[in-house]
Structure 1
Amino acid sequence: MRKITPPKFTHKSTTPLILKYLIVLILIYGLAILISLSQVKISSIQDVLQKANWPAKTLLIETFGNENVLFNYAIKKQERPKTMNHLIFEAMTELHFDDIRSLFGSELPGFTIYNTKIFIAGKGLNYTNLPQDNPPSPEIHIETPKKQTPEENTKDQSSQKLKKRVLIYHTHPWEAYKPMNDGKDSTYTDLQKGVIKDGEIVGQTLNKDGVGYVHRIKQGWGYNEAYQKSRLVVLDALKKNPTLSYLIDIHRDSSGRNNTTMEIGTSSYARISIIIGEANPNYSANLFFAKKVKNQLDKNYPDLVRGIVGKTKLEGNGIYNQDISKNAILVEIGGVDNTLAEITRSSQAFGEALAQIIKQTK
């Protein structure tokens, strides 16, 4: 019989099979990766798109430019909004063409100012003199305040007959003014020497102008938990008064007198700053509301507003309870060195402007 020998597998015959196998694996894994990537939302790019602050006039011209190339020559190149390529580049690298701080801001230790954004700068405001928020003086023992009765701990002042539109509250009720508080910047005993006084004056001004308000005065929490606790105050107030739609958290700046005081005519005023949390879904609406407040104050009291500043969670709370309403802002009236007369004038000015805005939007 003829002997049958099995075929011999050589290197040349096995190599094409291995290559084909590897190619198939690469294609399968590559396809799986592409499918996965297509399902991933790039939140950083969405964030850039959301926070883009482009002039409406420029956007209108750019929109027409996509349909008619002649429009592209009707606007200066430097005034055109950022392209999608710019946005993707900024999202991936965190480098911004219009902000030189992005080249080194995240690399320098302690350079947290980089995480604060000036939306609108009033007279004199820049990145060297931004509004400051410092913890209370340790000697007042914020974590263990003096025991109070429920009536002393929680007060609810309001205009009785008017429809309640504005909630005034204080996340940092201990913030005081040194000239009113024997040289100390914090108090837990005499609340009339701090931001509570601002809230009362704003409320009285609103009431005089025919706008209903609720002024919640509550304390008894520490600095680190302040916004979580004040959030409960806000939600409780809204539950009891569903018509409240304007949420005003009143603070005072920790900056010195040079940055927080100005003369209007023959009178001295405490300057006002507005803080917007960039980490909340109502960010754009809150900013729009803040701009309306500033514009109204500018008409009545030019340069009284230091500016509108945005803060992320890297620099502050980032939300400031502003996700609860589209008309929520944090207002800082004056600083630690302002007097009762100065904060009274500015609180009245803010109340007047707020009342005018509310009446215009009815």
Structure 2
Amino acid sequence: MKKNKPFSLFIRINGAVLSVIVIFILIAGMTTILSLKMSSESVGEVLETSDLNKLYLYFFGSENKYYIQNRKDIKDIPLTKVGFQIATNIKISDIRTFFERELPGFAEFNTKIEIAGQGTDLTTLPIESAPPMDVLLKEREIAQNQLNENNSNENNSTPPPSQTTNGKKVVFIYHTHSWESYLPLLKNVTNPNEAVSSNNRVNVVGVGDYLVKDLAAKGIGSDNSTINATQELHKRGWDANSAYQYSRSVVKEALADNSDLKFMVDIHRDSSRKNITSTTLNNKRYARLVFVVGQANPNYKQNLELAKKLHDALEKKYPGLSRGVVSKDRSEGNGVYNQDLSPRAILLEVGGVDNNIQELHNAIDAFADVFSEYYWQMKNAKAF
């Protein structure tokens, strides 16, 4: 009797669907008993990494080898593995997922190292701190001598740029955690958890001000938000964990007010210590940089590509200055970082709690150098 191939294919497909349903029923029971929970991130990751065209060809190829005779990449689909990962958030190939809900702080290691800079591994990842509001509101005296000493070393004589944005501000610099400061710039403060200040001369807002000057020297107009995030959060009765919710409104307003904006840079300060966040190049001390990209937004790939290109450019001119590029999902950190609002957005960690102002300025000089080269290259190529 001749085999009915369409009917056989129908049986195979329905059998596969039935198998998936059975697997989900079994896993649903496990999740109920073991208190495991399904997350949209795990579902999204599985769907994103699954090629539906390959799945389609796999089923048809099982009946007619013609469809896959030259497709060595078509392999058996591990339906049980995919179903288990979606339902439990556990990846059989990644041991970290077995412990993240059981060990406090272990979710920190969910950060993905996209490009590892010098010395970067799971033990030296950037640390995001969220101090309580009473710590943020406390006034701290600044180390004026550090600022005075740096001012005397500044050289403001720079040649005029060969090309400019003609008064247009094309870069928006802002600070979700505007309170993040540096111990050397605060008088009599030694606890790294208290390296916070609302004084824009000694926190990351001041770093943004310096970047504005550097970019202007390269012909690139930019705008730096000087909003005190601590006060705005306190005014709303929010804590530091709501900082990205507030900064999102700041970015959206900036984009609405200025159609010329092409790049978004959110400047932060890492909580890691000096041995991780500092380096010496040609007898000059630098605060090291880290690029952070949010995985949970539709612009993830474009923003990741931007961060990688800036890292590579830094490696060529200032080897070892960049600690690399990392990405985070919602299980550790915000996961979006307002980067869904622009395909050219980055979060830049500038130094750590122990870096002094000269190291910070040297780092920003280097970043502005490579960023401006990238900007004009893209601009002249009509990439935006």
* CA distance 1:105–1:194, change in 2 (3 Å): same
Structure 2 residue matching 1:335: 3-state secondary structure: coil
In structure 1, the partner of 2:121 is 126
In structure 1, runs of 5+ residues without a counterpart are 1-29, 53-65, 73-79, 146-158
**What letter corresponds to residue 247 of structure 1 in structure 2?**
M
More strand by share: 1
In structure 1, the partner of 2:338 is 321
* CA distance 1:108–1:324, change in 2 (3 Å): same
Deviations 1:112-144 (A, max 9, x none): 223322211111111122111112475554399
**What letter corresponds to residue 175 of structure 1 in structure 2?**
E
Alignment of 1:68 with 2:54, yes or no, is: no
Deviations 1:201-223 (A, max 9, x none): 21111111111211111012331
Deviations 1:312-358 (A, max 9, x none): 22211111111100011110100010011100000111111211111
* CA distance 1:337–1:93, change in 2 (3 Å): same
Alignment of 1:88 with 2:82, yes or no, is: yes
In structure 2, the partner of 1:187 is 197
Distance in 2, matches of 1:267 and 1:43, equals: 43
In structure 1, the partner of 2:226 is 217
Structure 2 residue matching 1:262: 3-state secondary structure: strand
Distance in 2, matches of 1:47 and 1:193, equals: 40
Match for residue 269 of structure 2 among 252, 270, 274: 252
* CA distance 1:192–1:137, change in 2 (3 Å): farther
Structure 2 residue matching 1:119: 3-state secondary structure: strand
Distance in 2, matches of 1:312 and 1:44, equals: 10
Q: CA RMSD in A?
A: 3.2
**What letter corresponds to residue 48 of structure 2 in structure 1?**
Q
Percent identity, please: 39
Q: C-alpha displacement at 1:85, in angstroms?
A: 2.9
Report if aligned partners of 2:292, 2:326 keep a CA contact under 8 Å in 1: yes
Deviations 1:227-266 (A, max 9, x none): 1111111111111211102000001101111110011120
TM-score in terms of structure 1 length: 0.71
In structure 2, the partner of 1:200 is 209
Structure 2 residue matching 1:337: 3-state secondary structure: coil
Q: Which moved more, 1:83-92 or 1:329-338?
A: 83-92
* CA distance 1:45–1:139, change in 2 (3 Å): closer
Distance in 2, matches of 1:224 and 1:337, equals: 24
* CA distance 1:327–1:110, change in 2 (3 Å): same
TM-score in terms of structure 2 length: 0.68
* CA distance 1:43–1:322, change in 2 (3 Å): closer
Q: C-alpha displacement at 1:161, in angstroms?
A: 4.1
* CA distance 1:127–1:247, change in 2 (3 Å): same
Structure 2 residue matching 1:326: 3-state secondary structure: coil
Distance in 1, matches of 2:74 and 2:100, equals: 24
Match for residue 302 of structure 2 among 265, 285, 290: 285
User: How many residues are paired up?
Assistant: 291
* CA distance 1:224–1:110, change in 2 (3 Å): closer
* CA distance 1:297–1:93, change in 2 (3 Å): same
Structure 2 residue matching 1:346: 3-state secondary structure: helix
Alignment of 1:310-349 (within 5 A): 310-349=327-366
Q: C-alpha displacement at 1:47, in angstroms?
A: 2.0
In structure 2, the partner of 1:168 is 173
